């Protein structure tokens, strides 16, 4: 059987080609028939340009239906799709093109001169344009091509996509995902989240990232139903469209912004059956407030570029089913364990972690509630970093577990709680401090909107625990002071965990996926500690 992901998806397309797939802000509709034909034309074009299966197709374009079709055409033709954040600038682009050497680079018209220059340097033979309205030389070149295209046969182990990680430390790495990886995750999520005929998704996420492209689009394409395909998140648009949708997927910031609208409530969500959150931690307060205002329990899940989704809160929302502050249980087909040491060759000696079970060698499985390194295994886990065999080897244990780089703990009944990235762990005076523990205490203080705890260089302690705190815009927020925050949590924490420095700010730096960029905070505040 053809393992090409496109075959899996199109096998679920509705029998009627006129069935809607994407509903655009101006009311235009892309039907499933349109998708089949347009991806057929584009796949024919890619082949006509001389690309061979396995060649890369890179795209740095805005979110449009044509951009999604380009992705589908690329995998349909057996190519490897490489989506790039439109925010990337010259030096990032130069690196990606040189590293991945795509056979085709699709850019926005305003980037054309730079694209030609960099493509020339990197030896990329074809550059075409796709503008923010979905037109351009790519579309013009595809127009005369035939609509029909026989989806190229692929094995489950063949590459379908390379997604570059955000690379906050060192070089950005291209995570290689196979047709099998993507298909496994698509099938699992579709069934775990109970997708059903007629589901309508409100899609406001970017599509250069695993969340918007794979999680959201694959669920709906496999469901053969429709999505509102919006260029980006906009709270006012969401308020308008939510009543017509049944599923919404967002990063935590979207939920925070919805709650800021006084009109948001049960009526807005009357047709929704599922709210999904991920890509960054959802604050327990947001989870609780959302429940109180809308009557809905947000389902939080956890995953990453290197493997799609690893865990999810259960669909069955019954009492204590979806737990705020946790990312739920390992998904079917994904094994997850928490180990007390990582980074040593041959660690994690082979047995699946049941909390409290000793593993062989120098590594022990964490007991329930104890924070350790999260490692995963499963058909969804990527096959390695493009062109970086040593890095790939470093990131897997000898017995094949992927070291996620996240720290977390398991409850006695298997729910996972994330404590943050291991590189964000603060080591002060030789002792480990997990930022989340302190952030939770600070966030619970009256007047605090949110906080981020980081480690900054300190002459005595190596690193000093530092809190960057966003105040609420009310009297309680205005009354907060640096020393007041320290005083309020002092008796709740061991001395070494108490922040040495506190900074009050208006907002935290976030990337497009809503992740707090702690590397930026460290850079901003490090010079201030050498005073």
**Cα 260 from Cα 147, distance rounded (Å):** 46
**What is the separation, in whole angstroms, between the first and last Cα of the chain?**
66
Q: Where are the beta strands (DSSP E) in 27-132?
A: 29-31, 56-60, 80-83, 104-107, 126-129
Bridge partners of residue 82, in order along the sequence: 58
Token pair in block for residue 514? 């809503």
* Burial (Cβ within 10 Å: 0-12, 13-18, ≥19) of residue 474: exposed
CB of 427 to ligand AMP, least distance (A): 19
Nearer to ligand AMP, 173 or 471 (CB): 173
Largest CA distance in the chain: 72
Least distance CB 300 / ligand AMP (angstroms): 5
For ligand AMP, the closer of residues 62 and 406 by Cβ is 406
**Inter-residue contact 431 to 422 (CB < 8 Å):** no
d(CA 363, CA 367): 12
User: Positive or negative, the Cα torsion across 489, 493, 495, 500?
Assistant: negative
How far apart are CB 508 and ligand AMP at their closest, in Å?
Answer: 15
For the bound state, the minimum distance from the C-beta of residue 408 to ligand AMP, rounded and expressed in Å, comes to 9
Nearer to ligand AMP, 305 or 364 (CB): 305
Shortest distance (Å) from residue 281 CB to ligand AMP = 4
DSSP per-residue string spanning 161-192 = EEEE---SSSS--EEEEEHHHHHHHHHHHHHH
Structure tokens at 305: 């570029």
Distance of alpha carbon 299 from alpha carbon 287, whole angstroms: 9
Query: Minimum Å distance from CB 397 to ligand AMP?
Result: 17
Which residues of this chain interact with ligand AMP, rule CB under 6 A?
A: 165-166, 210, 278-281, 300, 302, 304-305, 327, 404, 406, 418, 421, 513
Nearer to ligand AMP, 138 or 304 (CB): 304
Minimum distance from residue 162 beta carbon to ligand AMP (Å) = 13
Between 134 and 348, CB nearer to ligand AMP:
348
Output the smallest distance, CB 385 to ligand AMP, in A: 13
Nearer residue to ligand AMP within complex by CB, 135 or 165: 165
Which residue lies nearer to ligand AMP by CB, 304 or 469?
A: 304
Q: How far is the CB of 426 from ligand AMP (least distance, A)?
A: 16
78/303 with CB nearer ligand AMP:
303
Query: What Rg do the C-alpha atoms of the chain give, in angstroms?
Result: 24
Measured at the CA of 51, the angle between CA 105 and CA 100, to 5 degrees, comes to 50
Residue 178 CA to residue 163 CA, distance in Å, equals 11
* 280 or 370: CB nearest ligand AMP: 280
């Amino acid at each position: 059987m053809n393992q090409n992901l496109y075959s899996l998806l199109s096998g679920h397309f509705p029998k009627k080609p006129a069935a809607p797939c994407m509903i655009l802000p101006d009311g235009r509709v892309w039907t499933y028939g349109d998708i089949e034909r347009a991806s057929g034309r584009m796949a024919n074009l890619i082949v006509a340009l001389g690309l061979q299966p396995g060649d890369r197709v890179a795209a740095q374009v805005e979110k449009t239906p044509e951009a999604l079709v380009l992705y589908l055409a690329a995998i349909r033709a057996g190519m490897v799709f490489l989506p790039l954040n439109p925010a990337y600038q010259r030096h990032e682009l130069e690196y990606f093109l040189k590293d991945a050497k795509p056979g085709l680079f699709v850019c926005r018209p305003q980037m054309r001169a730079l694209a030609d220059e960099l493509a020339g340097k990197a030896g990329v033979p074809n550059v075409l344009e796709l503008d923010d309205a979905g037109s351009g030389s790519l579309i013009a070149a595809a127009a005369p091509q035939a609509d029909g295209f026989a989806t190229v046969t692929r094995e489950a182990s063949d590459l379908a996509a390379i997604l570059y990680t955000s690379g906050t430390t060192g070089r950005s790495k291209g995570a290689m995902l196979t047709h099998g990886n993507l298909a496994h995750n698509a099938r699992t999520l579709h069934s775990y989240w109970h997708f059903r005929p007629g589901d309508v998704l409100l899609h406001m996420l970017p599509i250069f990232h695993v969340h918007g492209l794979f999680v959201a689009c694959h669920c709906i394409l496999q469901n053969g139903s429709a999505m509102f395909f919006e260029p980006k998140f906009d709270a006012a648009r969401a308020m308008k469209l939510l009543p017509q949708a049944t599923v919404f997927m967002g990063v935590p910031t979207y939920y925070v912004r919805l709650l800021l609208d006084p009109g948001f409530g049960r009526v807005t969500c009357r047709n929704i059956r599922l709210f999904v959150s991920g890509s960054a931690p959802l604050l327990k307060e947001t989870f609780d407030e959302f429940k109180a205002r809308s009557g809905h329990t947000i389902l939080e899940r956890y995953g990453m570029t290197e493997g799609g989704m690893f865990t999810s809160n259960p669909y069955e929302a019954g009492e204590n089913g979806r737990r705020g502050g946790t990312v739920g249980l390992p998904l079917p087909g994904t094994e997850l364990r928490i180990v007390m040491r990582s980074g040593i060759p041959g660690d994690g000696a082979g047995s699946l972690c049941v909390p409290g079970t000793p593993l062989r060698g120098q590594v022990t499985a964490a007991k329930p509630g104890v924070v350790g390194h999260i490692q995963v295994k499963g058909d969804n886990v990527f096959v390695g970093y493009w062109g970086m065999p040593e890095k790939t080897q470093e990131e897997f244990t000898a017995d094949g577990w992927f070291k996620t780089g996240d720290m977390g703990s398991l409850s006695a009944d298997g729910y996972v709680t994330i404590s943050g990235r291991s590189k964000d762990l603060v080591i002060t005076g030789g002792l480990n401090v997990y930022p989340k523990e302190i952030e939770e205490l600070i966030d619970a203080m009256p007047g605090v909107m949110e906080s981020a705890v980081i480690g900054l260089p300190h002459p005595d302690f190596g690193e000093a625990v530092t809190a960057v705190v966003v105040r609420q815009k009310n009297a309680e927020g205005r009354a907060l002071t640096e020393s007041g925050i320290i005083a309020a949590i002092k008796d709740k924490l061991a001395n070494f965990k108490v922040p040495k420095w506190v900074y009050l700010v208006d907002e935290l730096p976030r990337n497009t996926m809503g992740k707090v960029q702690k590397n930026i905070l460290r850079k901003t505040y490090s010079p201030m500690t050498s005073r």
